Structure 1
Amino acid sequence: MPDMLKIAVLGVAAALCAVVVRKSAAELGLVLALAAGAVILSGALGALEAVRELMDTLADTAGLSPAVVAPVLKTAGIAVLTRLSAELCRDAKESGIAAFVETAGALAALYVALPLLETVLRMVTGLL
């Protein structure tokens, strides 16, 4: 919780600074937003490792192979990256590029999930 409080304060402070900077130099406001985003995400990486460890433990307990769990984690990562990229494009007033980023992210998520879908299909046909 204290880490999230630090991240929230940093995010609000960076947003306020970006608003002030954008009035005189819009490009610097975007650079400030990117830098703040990088610092915030680096602060959240510790939580990501804990989630990964929990997912591995749950997969071992349930007897799931890494081939089933990996596509789920990759798809979640693609979703987060797509969302961040699209929002940064929108922040730069490029909503068209943001739409293309979102479409590409959806296609990438489907591609990464194909092995999982194939496994489900094999399981269903095996039951029939």
Structure 2
Amino acid sequence: MEAVGKIAALAVAAALCALVVRQNAREIGLVLALLAGALILGQALGAVEAIWALLEELGERAGLSPAVLDPVIKTVGIGILTKISAEVCRDAKESGIAAFVETAGAALSLYVALPLIRAVLDTVSELL
């Protein structure tokens, strides 16, 4: 709960600062927003590490191989990074680049999920 308070305070302070700075220097406002985003993600890093460890433990207990669990985790990571990158591009008034980022993110998510798709196909083939 303490981390959420820090993140909220940092986000509001950065948003207000960026709002003031963007009136005179739009580029510096964007850099400020990126820096604030990096600091916010840094605050959440501990939670991400704990979630990763728990997922690995659950996978081991369920008897899932890393080949099954890793693509799911990587796909979620790609989705998060794609969303953040596209929003930063939109904030910089580059919606075309944001669309390309989203398309690339979707393609990379499918690519990362290929081992999982192959495992499902192999399982279905064995059942038939």
TM superposition score normalised by structure 1: 0.98
Cα distance in 1 between the residues matched to 2:66 and 2:76? 15
Cα distance in 2 between the residues matched to 1:42 and 1:122? 39
Q: 1:12 offset after TM fit, Å? A: 1.1
Equivalent residue letter for 1:63? G
Cα distance in 2 between the residues matched to 1:35 and 1:62? 40
Cα distance in 2 between the residues matched to 1:81 and 1:124? 32
Percentage identity across aligned positions?
Answer: 66
Cα distance in 1 between the residues matched to 2:118 and 2:11? 41
Unaligned segments of structure 2, at least 5 residues? none
Equivalent residue letter for 2:67? A
Q: Which runs of 4+ in 1 moved over 3 A?
A: none
What SS does structure 2 have at the residue aligned with 1:20? helix
* 1:80 and 2:119 correspond: no
* 1:40 and 2:25 correspond: no
Q: 1:61 offset after TM fit, Å? A: 1.0
Aligned residue number for residue 110 of structure 2: 110
Q: 1:125 offset after TM fit, Å? A: 1.1
Cα distance in 2 between the residues matched to 1:8 and 1:104? 30
Cα distance in 1 between the residues matched to 2:92 and 2:115? 36
Aligned residue number for residue 13 of structure 1: 13
What SS does structure 1 have at the residue aligned with 2:23? helix
Unaligned segments of structure 1, at least 5 residues? none
TM superposition score normalised by structure 2: 0.98
Mapping 1:23-102, distance limit 5 Å: 23-102=23-102
Aligned residue number for residue 3 of structure 2: 3
Q: Deviations over 1:74-105 (max 9, x none)?
A: 10110010000000000000001000000000
Superposition CA RMSD, Å? 0.6
